[in-house]
Amino acid sequence: MDQELLAPLAGQVLAIKCAVGDTVEEDEEVVVIEALKMETPVFAPCDGTVKEIRVKEGASVEEDDVLIILST
Amino acid sequence: MRRYFEKMDDVGRELRKGEVKRTDDNVAALKEVEAELDAAVERVKTTGLSTEKINERGQMTVWQRLEYLVEPGTWCPLHTLYNPLDNPEDTTNVIDGIGKIGGKWAVVIGFDNKVFAGAWMPGQPENILRVTQVSKRLNLPLVWLVNCSGAKLPDQEKFYANRRGAGTPFYRHAELEQLGIPILAGIYGTNPAGGGYQGISPTVLFAHKNCNIAVGGAGIVSGMAPKGHFDVETAKGLIEKAKEFRDEPPGTVKTHYDETGFFRYVFDEETEVLDALKEYMAEMPAYHPRFFRVAEPKPPKYPSDDLYRVVPLEPKRVYEFEQVLARLVDSSEHTEFRPGYGPEVYTGLCKIDGFLVGVVGNRQGYLGKDYPEYGDYPGIGGKLYRQGLIKMNEFVTLCGRDRLPIVWIQDTSGIDVGDAAEKAELLGLGQGLIYSIQQTDVPMICVVVRKASAAAHYLMGGPPANRHNAFTVGTAASEVYVMHGETAAVATYVRRLIKEDAAGRPLEPVVEQMNELAQQYHDHSRPVYCARYGMLDEVVKMSELRRYLVAFAGAVYQNPKSICPQNHMVLPRLIKG
């Protein structure tokens, strides 16, 4: 089953901490978004494998944009 | 009122597997800072003569006296690293804190007799005034371990005079006594001049047999007639006089116990002086804790060591405030005041060691796209907006009504700025909060968990609220500055950049200055620096924060000057509706 990981807020993608095919654990930090001078980490909602990364580092995202798709 | 307090709402949760995994680096980084703090404290403890040397003279050091006097596990040191005028000895030469003696909370302060026999030194008056303020605010007895050789004479111009100079603590002692706060003094060693007043100004004097207190010591008495110069004849006269007074200095036990009776007791052994202080402290007026407790004391559900994983050292990283709160308060329970309104600020009632306190803290992270309601930009925790300021004004005022002490947990980058914020009245609401705090006569403690910045540091119960802020503690993650260093560099140099650019000159020299300023801000906001210059009264290990809160709550409720019956409290009912 696919699980979408959404941007919790609008901002710039500061870091992507996983690659397609990586196995991630629940609550592992996978993306960091910078907005309003603060870094907001985005955590994996569940254990899974990174199926697709929809954004690049430095890209601007809007709230609820899909960042990553995990296969669970 | 049991239904309000015995079981409150749960707050926080256990750390998840992924959180533990990703925070190992943060734990290591915070512990590294704590190791630096430990090293700085060790320098203070070992400055001056060695313990062995003092013991060879038949004396205990101030540290040994404190260890003997204060109940194990209750000592909460304050101002350990405070050294605002950069004494090379790394100390203002007084050691202080709060702890239990004879079962009662007290503020305790003693001269470090390893350094110039406990002399007055630069920065010391301000240190003592902070201590008398703690005593006054918490209505706690002040216990002095006097062992003061008087002014360090070569540096006298830095502390002798002035509005908050070395004479001011004697007025503060009188003020405390007039407020009904007793000052007990164990007196050791030679205490001439300033030391004499340190000895005489307390309420009850407990003397060691070899001590003296005097208006002037042997050194002054033997050479008090200046004639414009020194010569050999004068020098020989001084030698004779000094020998005479060395044998029998003024103000010994023979004078001040047998004649004046200033010393109420004299003891042969140093420890007997401390035993007598314990006996007197045991008899100090104090309520039994059950008088004020709203529930049985219970530890938090989650370990305090989790705080090393919850609070990121990196100031830009967001975290959950509730996870911090859950590791500080009894049973990890709370009753939140106005949840949902002013979401950047937490306000609520919690228990510390069974005592009810109000807690205010900064939430972190994104606040949702509809907040602040007056701006077309997103809000983020750490900043203060209109609703949060209104909520704090209300909460503080109601805590005053219910006589609840307030715990401020700061991690703030400032108040929202811009014309929308001005139209939303943030300037007036911020100063309004200062007004609310000032007229709310309850003790407060401030914990700077991480950032303390801009005016928000002032108006969230920080040290500038010094009529009510008993003391402020920081952590290894604390940083205190008017604004972030990079922001300051931009504010300072942006016009210059524009000019240089317009003139076609290279920007590198300006950029270099900007980096230097940012670095200076960084260096001057580290925990050790903040403690040294008094921005924080103590920097405390993450795992020790709750112990300070327990001491604060116990001290506040030991003998409060004004009380509100639990059954008359309004705040819990306002929350419940």
Compute the distance between CA of residue A27 and CA of residue B310 in angstroms, rounded to an integer: 13
Compute the distance between CA of residue B256 and CA of residue B210 in angstroms, rounded to an integer: 12
Q: Average pLDDT in the B12-27 region?
A: 92
Q: What angle do CA B266, B272, B276 make, to 5 degrees?
A: 80
Asked whether the beta carbons of residue B18 and residue A27 sit closer than 8 angstroms, the reply is yes
> What is residue B286's DSSP assignment?
-
Fold of B289-478+536-572: 2-enoyl-CoA Hydratase; Chain A, domain 1 (3.90.226)
pLDDT tens-digit map of B357-383: 999 999 999 998 899 999 999 899 999
If you measure CA to CA, which chain B residue comes closest to A46? B18
pLDDT tens-digit map of B233-287: 888 887 887 777 666 789 999 999 999 999 999 999 999 999 999 999 999 999 9
Give chain A's domains with CATH numbers.
2-71 (2.40.50.100)
pLDDT > 90: percent of chain B: 90
Q: Provide the Cα torsion B47, B106, B98, B299; round to 10°.
A: 150
Q: Are strands B333-336 and B355-362 parallel, antiparallel or unpaired?
A: unpaired
Q: Average pLDDT in the B216-234 region?
A: 73
Higher pLDDT, B537 or B226: B537
- Chain B contact for A34 (CB, 8 A cutoff): yes
Answer whether residue B67 shows pLDDT above 90. yes
Locus of tokens 């290279």: B506
pLDDT > 70: percent of chain B: 98
Quick one: three-class SS letters along B64-125?
Answer: HHHHHHCCCCCCEEECCCCCCCCCCCCCCCEEEEEEEECCEEEEEEEECCCCCCCCECCCHH
Of B122, B192, B129, B191, residue with least CA distance to B157:
B122
Domain spans, chain B: 47-215+250-282, 289-478+536-572, 484-525
- In this structure, are residues B81 and B473 in contact, taking their beta carbons and an 8 Å threshold? no
If you measure CA to CA, which chain B residue comes closest to A32? B317
- Chain B contact for A38 (CB, 8 A cutoff): yes
- In this structure, are residues A30 and A22 in contact, taking their beta carbons and an 8 Å threshold? no
Helix orientation angle between B508-523 and B485-502, rounded to the nearest 10 degrees: 170
Q: What is the pLDDT of residue B480?
A: 98
Compute the distance between CA of residue B42 and CA of residue B37 in angstroms, rounded to an integer: 9
Tokens of B386: 């209109």
Asked whether the beta carbons of residue A26 and residue B17 sit closer than 8 angstroms, the reply is yes
Asked whether the beta carbons of residue B316 and residue A37 sit closer than 8 angstroms, the reply is yes
Q: Specify the amino acid at residue B569.
A: M
Tokens of B389: 């300021």
Compute the distance between CA of residue B209 and CA of residue B263 in angstroms, rounded to an integer: 10
Supply the CATH classification number for the domain B47-215+250-282.
3.90.226.10
- In this structure, are residues B409 and B360 in contact, taking their beta carbons and an 8 Å threshold? yes
Of B520, B464, B100, residue with least CA distance to B281:
B100
Of B153, B184, B187, B202, residue with least CA distance to B278:
B184
- In this structure, are residues A66 and A49 in contact, taking their beta carbons and an 8 Å threshold? no
Q: Identify all chain A residues contacting B421, using CB atoms and an 8 Å cutoff.
A: none
A27 Cα to chain B: minimum distance (Å):
4
Answer whether residue B227 shows pLDDT above 80. no
Compute the distance between CA of residue A46 and CA of residue B71 in angstroms, rounded to an integer: 49
Q: Judge if B47-215+250-282 and B289-478+536-572 fold alike in CATH terms.
A: yes
Asked whether the beta carbons of residue B380 and residue A38 sit closer than 8 angstroms, the reply is yes
Q: Identify all chain B residues contacting A40, using CB atoms and an 8 Å cutoff.
A: 318, 365-366
B22 Cα to chain A: minimum distance (Å):
7
Confidence of residue B223 (pLDDT cuts 50, 70, 90): low
Q: What is the pLDDT of residue B66?
A: 98
Of B176, B167, B218, B196, residue with least CA distance to B263:
B196
**pTM for this prediction:** 0.94
Locus of tokens 């990079």: B486
- Residue of B19, B380, B484 lying closest to A36 (CB–CB): B380
Answer whether residue A26 shows pLDDT above 90. no
From residue B102, alpha-carbon distances to A19, A42, B290, B414 in Å are 62, 52, 18, 43
Confidence of residue B431 (pLDDT cuts 50, 70, 90): very high
The reply to whether omega before B509 is within 30° of 0 (cis) is: no
Helix orientation angle between B62-69 and B270-282, rounded to the nearest 10 degrees: 40
User: Which value, in Å, is the radius of gyration of the alpha carbons in chain B?
Assistant: 26
Q: What is the pLDDT of residue B189?
A: 95
The SS3 call for residue B207 is strand
Tokens of A38: 């603060």
Q: Identify all chain A residues contacting B17, using CB atoms and an 8 Å cutoff.
A: 25-27
Compute the distance between CA of residue B464 and CA of residue B453 in angstroms, rounded to an integer: 13
Q: How many helices (H) and strands (E) does chain B have?
A: 23, 20
Of B442, B346, B456, residue with least CA distance to B397:
B442
pLDDT tens-digit map of A30-60: 999 998 888 999 999 888 999 999 999 999 9
pLDDT tens-digit map of B77-92: 999 999 999 999 999 9
Asked whether the beta carbons of residue B314 and residue A39 sit closer than 8 angstroms, the reply is yes
Compute the distance between CA of residue B356 and CA of residue B157 in angstroms, rounded to an integer: 46
Compute the distance between CA of residue B447 and CA of residue B383 in angstroms, rounded to an integer: 17
Q: Which residues, at least 6 apart from B413, have a Cβ–Cβ distance to it below 8 Å?
A: A37, B382, B383, B451, B453, B454, B456, B484
Of B467, B462, B459, B458, residue with least CA distance to B439:
B467
pLDDT tens-digit map of B441-496: 999 999 999 999 999 999 999 999 989 999 999 999 999 999 999 999 999 999 99
